[in-house]
Amino acid sequence: MSNKIKVGMLGIGNVGRGTYQALEMNHDKIAETTGLDIEIVKILNRRPQIDRGIDIPKDKYTADVDEILCDPEIDIVVELIGGIEPATEYMARALSNGKSVITANKAAIAANGKKLAALAQENHVLLRFEAAVAGGIPILTSLTTALLSNRFTGVHGILNGTTNYILTQMSEYGKSYEEALKDAQIKGFAEADPTADVEGFDAANKLSILISLIFGVDASPEVIPTHGITSVGINDIEFASDYGFRIKLLASAREKDGKVYGNVEPVLLPLSHPLASVSNEFNAVFVSGNAVDDLMFYGRGAGPLPTGSAVLGDIIGVARKIEKDSAYDIVPQLRYDSGLEFAGEGANKYYIRMMVPERTGILGKISTIFGEHGISVETVRQNSPYECSGETVADLIFIVFKVEKSELLSALEEVREAGVIKSIDSIMRVEE
Ligand SMILES: NC(=O)c1ccc[n+]([C@@H]2O[C@H](COP(=O)([O-])OP(=O)(O)OC[C@H]3O[C@@H](n4cnc5c(N)ncnc54)[C@H](OP(=O)(O)O)[C@@H]3O)[C@@H](O)[C@H]2O)c1
């Protein structure tokens, strides 16, 4: 005889539909393997007149959130409306009312996870958010269960399917950024307003959550240096390919000497790195632990059913705790107590592309300025000259050895002020 677990769901958009559908598809299998009879009994639907493209009994819908948050029969509230508010307020109210909360909302967890986790603990209930990082990939559960014995030294993630799709189309089919973005929008991989994805903000929210789980450090998205992909040009992609690299938007963090360094930016990855072959809309997370060594998780980071699978996994996990009445002994996933400090980007190897006039002496001047800043050049290359605004110019490309980003930027400012170049068009980290 299965134990009934009643779930209230807020929102019936892409992930709401995917979660409902995944439960419909696999309800009997879940009951068979876990003994749990999970039912989504109420759904917040603010526009019940709209066809949601899924067959759901009308009496499950309510436009009044209190019918879910205050229903004593409901054990678990699943928040799938997105955005920071009112999602945070609804989750806080559900937790205060003694209900466990599951969400796919990285923006709300990155902004208010600390407050919500404390509220969950106070009320002896659970807060879970597997779907918030890398969609269908069970990275958070793995880090906090099977991999808990490890001390992690680093994490690198391709955490945004939209930008990975655009960069793949640029590298593999020679499309411009604009063409690749349009294509992503037509195929449903990019939103009409792609800002949060292409500027790296979405990946920064996810990295903030990973840093808390992996390193026990509070690094809010605002303090994580974040650069998107809008300035990546075809010239960069070609150079990367000629020199055995692929450009990926990476969300990375690593620990060294008591400090955690991290950022989100387009990076030149050697083709031999496992993340270099992660193409199109797929996501992947590469973690290094001191016992398990290197490990890569790969899969769909978005989409109704893959994300619904992660939400449903959390529902089953929480339902099992409720069934055993053991929610109170669960350690929160988010941690901020390791004593490590978040210290920004740290020293890295960099790629720099600048446009210069066709003139002698420029390379010497730039090398002198780099030398004065302690910057050593590993590779320099000048591409064939071309015409730009009636002038003959060329792309000058450097790879420089490890340097603090602030030092590099101050050297480049001096190069700019010396008036010997037209523009600095690209600065990217080179992953070793
Ligand atoms: N899409 C993915 O593949 C994916 C993957 C991982 C995580 N996520 C996260 O999952 C969450 C949901 O994403 P989604 O793609 O499913 O979004 P979506 O398709 O826009 O669905 C959001 C749903 O919430 C409803 N809603 C929004 N604000 C509301 C409010 N104030 N009151 C009541 N209902 C409200 C919307 O109603 P209307 O339809 O009436 O506007 C819609 O039904 C987000 O946090 C997102 O970051 C999404």
Q: What is the pLDDT of residues 407-420, one digit of tens each?
A: 999 999 999 999 99
Task: Indicate if the pLDDT at residue 1 is higher than 50.
Answer: no
Average pLDDT value for residue range 87-106: 98
How is domain 3-136+304-329 classified at the CATH fold level?
Rossmann fold (3.40.50)
Task: Indicate if the pLDDT at residue 329 is higher than 90.
Answer: no
Atom of ligand 1 nearest to the CA of 47: 40
List C-alpha distances in Å: 321 to 38, 75, 88.
13, 11, 23
Query: What is the Cα–Cα distance from 197 to 203, expressed in whole angstroms?
Result: 7
Distance (Å) from CA 82 to ligand 1 centroid: 5
Task: Indicate if the pLDDT at residue 205 is higher than 60.
Answer: yes
Residues 6+ apart with CB under 8 A from 243: 268, 379, 399
Task: Indicate if the pLDDT at residue 325 is higher than 80.
Answer: no
Mean pLDDT, the chain, integer: 95
Quote the pTM value. Answer: 0.95
Atom of ligand 1 nearest to the CA of 11: 24
* Ligand 1 environment, Cβ below 6 A: 11-16, 44, 46-47, 80-82, 86, 104-106, 131, 135, 302-303, 307
Query: What is the Cα–Cα distance from 352 to 298, expressed in whole angstroms?
Result: 30
How is domain 140-300 classified at the CATH fold level?
Dihydrodipicolinate Reductase; domain 2 (3.30.360)
Residues 6+ apart with CB under 8 A from 321: 100, 126, 327, 330
Query: What is the Cα–Cα distance from 43 to 68, expressed in whole angstroms?
Result: 8
Task: Indicate if the pLDDT at residue 328 is higher than 70.
Answer: no
pLDDT at 3: 83
Q: What is the pLDDT of residues 150-186, one digit of tens each?
A: 999 999 999 999 999 999 999 999 999 999 999 999 9
pLDDT-derived band at 332, boundaries 50, 70, 90: confident
Residue in 128, 307, 309 to alter for ligand 1 test, most ligand atoms within 8 A of Cβ: 307
Distance (Å) from CA 83 to ligand 1 centroid: 8
Catalytic residue among 206, 256, 324, 422: 206
Task: Indicate if the pLDDT at residue 399 is higher than 70.
Answer: yes
Beta bridge partners of 7: 40, 76
Q: What is the pLDDT of residues 357-369, one digit of tens each?
A: 988 899 999 999 9
Atom of ligand 1 nearest to the CA of 132: 7
Average pLDDT value for residue range 23-51: 96
Q: What is the pLDDT of residues 189-201, one digit of tens each?
A: 999 999 999 999 9
98: left (phi over 0), alpha (psi -120 to 50) or beta: left
Distance (Å) from CA 106 to ligand 1 centroid: 12
Q: What is the pLDDT of residues 290-321, one digit of tens each?
A: 999 999 999 999 999 999 999 999 999 999 98
Q: What is the pLDDT of residues 48-66, one digit of tens each?
A: 889 999 999 999 999 999 9
What is the residue extent of each domain of the chain?
3-136+304-329, 140-300, 347-430
206 is catalytic: yes
According to CATH, what is the number of the domain 347-430? Answer: 3.30.70.260
Residue in 65, 69, 77, 81 to alter for ligand 1 test, most ligand atoms within 8 A of Cβ: 81
